[in-house]
Amino acid sequence: MTEHLHTPLSDVSKDANYVASPTTDSSEAKKDDAQTPHPIFVEVQQNCAISAEQLKRYSDPDDLPTDTRTAPDLDVGFGQQRALKALHTALDIKASGYHVFAAGENGLGKRTIISRLLTRIAADETTPDDWVYVHNFTDPRTPLALRLSAGQASLLQQQVNHLWQHAKKRLGQRFRSDQYQSKIEAIKNNTHQKESQAYEVLNAEGKQYDLALTFRPFDNKAVFVHPSKLTVENEGNDNKAAINNHERTSTAEDRLEADTLDLNNNANIDSDNAFGDSNYGNSDYEAELSNFAQKNHMQKRLSQLTIALEQLEDEANDAIEALHRSIAQRALEPLFTPIYEQFTAHPLVIEYLKTVFSDMVTHVERIVNGDDEEFVTAALATTPSRYAVNIIVSHTPESGAPVVFEDLPTHLNLLGHVEQITQLGTVTTDVSMIRAGALHRANGGYLLLEASHLLEHPYAWQGLKRALQSRKIKLSSLEQMLTLTGSLSLSPAPIELDIKVILLGEADLYYELLELEPEFDAVFKVRADFHDDVSRTSEHELALVAKMADIIDYADLYPFDSSAQATLLEHLSLQAEEQDRLSLHSDLLIKLLHESNRHARLDDQKLVTADHVTQAIDDMDERSGYLRDLYWDELKNGQQLIQTKGVAVGQVNALTVVSYADSEFGMPARLTAVIQPNIGAGEILDIERDVDLGGSLHAKGMLIMTSYLRALFSQHHALNFSASLAFEQSYAQIDGDSATVSEGCALLSALANVPINQSLAITGSMNQLGEVQAVGGINAKIAGFFDACREQALTGEQGVVIPMANVKQLMLRDDIIEEVKAGNFHIYGVYTLSEALTLMTGLPIDTTNKKDRYRKDTLFGKVLSRLMLWDENQNSGDDIDDEKKNKKSKKNRKAKHHKKAPKRKKDTLKKTKKDPDKTDDKQISDAEQHSGIEKSIDYQEKIRPVDIIVDDT
């Protein structure tokens, strides 16, 4: 018995209401009845037909502005009242953690709406304070953070820069002045005079011991020597001149060196050799010893004098430093006094300036000399880093709160960082290299971030969370975080944080963050949901026209007339997949406006019309239709097997949507069902699922359909079959439950051996009660099958069967609507699977008689008939096999009996002769009995089981 039957196309009637009957009869009357549509089919067809007026909702250009130049003013929060209400709630609460996650699809214009709203709110708010970092003279590794009123940071930086320039110039002038030089000379002369007097006193004391004070030429050190060892040249000179000039000849140098060595090293040697040498006597020895003691005494006196002279030199240096400080103070005080007066409202700034003043006075020599890197201006700066005022954030007074969007939210860009410079292999940094982050710039205002971008960068979320929880911005080295070590760097003082952060992202990302980040809900306590569409009312249509006008003005495009506006609104309804809804995707609208403006410019038109918008839509559709064109090429070449006319058993044209990247289009797919009778207990093999090409939603739809069928027939008869379902020529992933109705039609067609009209395609989801539910992508699905039918020639019988719940979502192309009006294409909406099956098969589905049994001419009645037929055939086959087995066994027993008892054979023959009638009757009875069984089987095969369980009335 064939379960997968393809009816020849020649058997299909050209009448739109014709449905082929599964049985044929030789009489002409039977043929006429077979071609006559069933009344129930006619009724269902009339009730389910969708009129052309229901296929699209048009906008009346007369209800719209003449062109976008006369459009009403834009309402920033149009269509997003729920989100804006949540946003206002978060902004009004100053408690910690009331930050916002704006959830919605990309392209809705969330950032634009929020930015405009925040800009309006921020304009009336107080301008936040400025922040600067300055050098910490107590702990240079920890720069100080100073807070100033708005606009004061730039003023402080400017004043300090001017202060440095004037201070350096004035100090240079003072230290080059004659007055300064004369004071220095006076200090030096006074010190020199005291030194000379001390040397003279010591020299006079040495003369008492016949010793002269002189200076060694090689180290200019004062020593005492015998006068005889001085040069002849110096003997006539005054000792004062010798002491003052510290001049010695080479001869004196040699003798002085020899004399010093003699005094320090040879005293003991002379003492030891005095008694053994005949040249020395006791008197000479005593004289030499006395001379040595005198020299030693004077040398000690000289050492004491040296210490006193060093103290005298220190006093001179202190006097010079005191002079420098005095000069610096007198020079700098007039420069600092005006700055003090400008920042009297900021005590910390006054304290810092006083510290700068003290530091400049203390290091005035290094400033004037300019030989120290700390007091030298860098290449790209006007002030040494020691006195630099690094502006972290500065605001214009009365400018309101800042609104900042950070498009690259890395850890460094959010929290700021400290730069470093490498010179000759040495890495250095200073307070001038501290760089602000987005939190610094938005402090006191609002910061917008893309949530997905934030999560892409290491430690960015952790840094943001820590700052919002502590309400302080603390710069930390990312190098130390990544390596757990790091080079010595600055650790700037933290800055107080007062900010509202708005994260922008999709709803799925929000749920993932809630699940994976335990503290996320504590930091972002408010969720603002942005809608994808808005109800299509006259008020909202005008609001969308105002949005168009705003985009047109911003982009400097040509104005759009009322017909162009209407066409755009209709396309936005198509994108929303709802007649009574309008899409709010700004990206799509902006793209359409720009491309429509291009076509108007190419036509040398200054006003954009509906034709230009239509051309732009067609261009966009063509650009994204590469894969669709490949499919249609395969359909033309016969590589894709799609049948749009005729009938077939267990075969349905299912409507699907192909989505790839930004390309989405509808296409029909052949769905087939095959039945294996008397194998299994109603199991249905989902081939797509078993090969991992079917998704979970597709599997759910299959299970729902299976449960429905089991509940439908198992109460009447056991399901003695197994089946398999597959999408033919499908090699990609399949998901969704929109093919559930298609699968039910194909399976029931195969079970009942009733053909399905291939001129119709069907889509729809189904629940366990047999009710048809709405599906997505309905417009693309209809367009896909319509294009396939047009490719294979429209016959006037083709159409689609869709859920009645999807009728309000129809926004079909105008060419499809024209063919529906002409009767060349049909669209039906159904509520139940039974209605869909009636349209597909032309038969009543589940009508019952008074005994609540399915009539034999219904689809369900035919299914039950076949289930019982398969059961009867199985049982009859088993009876025949048992009879043959018994007959063979009986013959074997007879043969065995004849071999063992030959004598009894004769007796049996004799008895047979005596009573032939009895033997003949027995043999005839056996033959008749066997023949009767065969006749009974033949009779049972000819009788249809449905005649037994179904009442003809």
**How confident is the model over 834-887, as pLDDT tens digits?**
999 999 998 988 888 877 778 888 888 888 888 888 877 766 655 565 666 666
Burial level of 899, CB count in 10 A (0-12/13-18/19+)? exposed
Average pLDDT over residues 473-479: 80
- Please tell me what DSSP assigns to residue 394: -
Q: What is the pLDDT of residue 313?
A: 84
Structure tokens at 743: 């699968």
> pLDDT confidence of 781, banded at 50, 70, 90?
very high
Angstrom distance (rounded) from CA 316 to CA 206: 27
pLDDT greater at residue 507 or residue 194: 507
Dmax (CA) for the chain in angstroms is 196
pLDDT, tens only, 568-596? 999 999 999 899 999 999 999 999 999 99
* Interval 454-477 mean pLDDT: 91
Please report which confidence band the pLDDT of residue 341 belongs to, taking 50, 70 and 90 as the band edges: very high
Per-residue pLDDT at 17: 34
pLDDT at residue number 235: 43
Average pLDDT in the 785-809 region?
A: 91
Q: Which residue has the higher pLDDT, 894 or 866?
A: 866
Distance separating alpha carbons of residues 21 and 4, to the nearest angstrom: 16
Strand 826-830 relative to strand 799-803, pairing: parallel
pLDDT score of 559: 95
**Which of 201-205, 345-349, 372-376, 556-560 is predicted least confidently?**
201-205
**pLDDT at site 717:** 75
pLDDT over 50 (residue 948): no
pLDDT at 915 over 60: no
Residue 265 burial (10 A CB sphere; 0-12, 13-18, 19+)? exposed
CB 89 within 8 A of CB 529: no
pLDDT at 683 over 90: no
Mean pLDDT, all residues of the chain: 80
Quickly count: other Cβ atoms within 10 Å of residue 885's Cβ. 10
Give percent of the chain above pLDDT 70: 78
Comparing 64 with 321, the larger pLDDT belongs to 64
> For position 254, what pLDDT does the model report?
40
Q: Which of 59, 115, 738, 765 is catalytic?
A: 738
**Pick from 61-65, 89-93, 155-159, 868-872: least confident:** 868-872
Least confident of 111-125, 526-540, 611-625, 862-876: 862-876
pLDDT > 80? residue 598: yes
Buried b (16+ CB within 10 A) or exposed e, 765-803: bbbeebbbbbbebbbbbbbbbbbbbbeeebeebbbbbbb
Lookup result for tokens 């976008």: 68
pLDDT at 933: 37
Tell me the average pLDDT across 275-298. Answer: 58
Q: How many residues does the chain have?
A: 953
Q: How confident is the model at residue 2 (pLDDT cuts 50, 70, 90)?
A: very low
User: What's the confidence (pLDDT) of residue 887?
Assistant: 67
Residues 6+ apart with CB under 8 A from 746: 650, 651, 652, 671, 672, 673, 725, 756
User: From CA 67, how far away is CA 545, in angstroms rounded?
Assistant: 9
- Residue 411 — very low, low, confident or very high, per pLDDT cuts 50/70/90? very high
> Is residue 842 within 8 Å of 762, Cβ to Cβ?
no
Whether the Cβ atoms of residue 686 and residue 744 lie closer than 8 Å to each other: no
Stretch 931-943: mean pLDDT, rounded? Answer: 39
DSSP state for residue 11 in the 8-state scheme? G
555: pLDDT strictly greater than 70: yes
- Report the pLDDT averaged over residues 105-129: 93
- What is the mean predicted confidence (pLDDT) over 513-518? 91
CA distance 499 to 96: 10
The yes-or-no verdict on residue 475 having pLDDT over 80 is yes
Mean pLDDT of 437-466: 94
Residue 503 has pLDDT above 80, yes or no: yes
Written as one letter, the residue type at 235 is: E
- Whether 471 has a pLDDT exceeding 90, the answer reads yes
Query: Is 640 a residue whose pLDDT tops 90?
Result: no
Give residue 125's pLDDT band: very low, low, confident or very high (50, 70, 90): very high
Determine contact, residues 721/754, Cβ cutoff 8 Å: no
Q: Which of 344-358, 680-694, 869-883 has the highest mean pLDDT?
A: 344-358
pLDDT at 236: 41
Q: How far apart are CA 458 and CA 476, in angstroms?
A: 14
Report for 25-29, 838-842, 939-943: range of highest mean pLDDT? 838-842
pLDDT grade for 70, boundaries at 50, 70 and 90: very high
Question: What confidence score (pLDDT) does residue 901 get?
Answer: 52
Q: What pLDDT band is residue 420 in, cutting at 50, 70 and 90? A: confident
Known catalytic residue at 452 = no
Residue 265: which pLDDT band, with cuts at 50, 70 and 90?
Answer: very low
Higher pLDDT, 276 or 338: 338
Residue corresponding to tokens 């400049």: 360
Tell me which of 500, 781, 856, 862 is the catalytic residue. 781
Question: DSSP assignment, residue 717?
Answer: S
**Nearest Cα to Cα of residue 155 among 339, 421, 293, 378:** 339
Position 752 scores a pLDDT of 87
- Closest by alpha carbon to 240, among 209, 208, 201, 210? 201
Q: What SS3 class is residue 102? A: strand
DSSP track, 752-777: HT-EEETTEEE--EE-TTSBEE--S-
CA angle, 168 then 172 then 176, to 5° = 175
pLDDT band at 485 (very low <50, low <70, confident <90, very high): low
Residue predicted with more confidence, 921 or 311: 311
Task: Please indicate whether residue 738 is annotated as part of the active site.
Answer: yes
pLDDT tier at 104, thresholds 50, 70, 90 = very high
Residue 162 has pLDDT above 90, yes or no: yes
Could you read off the pLDDT of 200-228 as tens digits, one per residue? 777 777 777 777 777 777 766 777 676 76
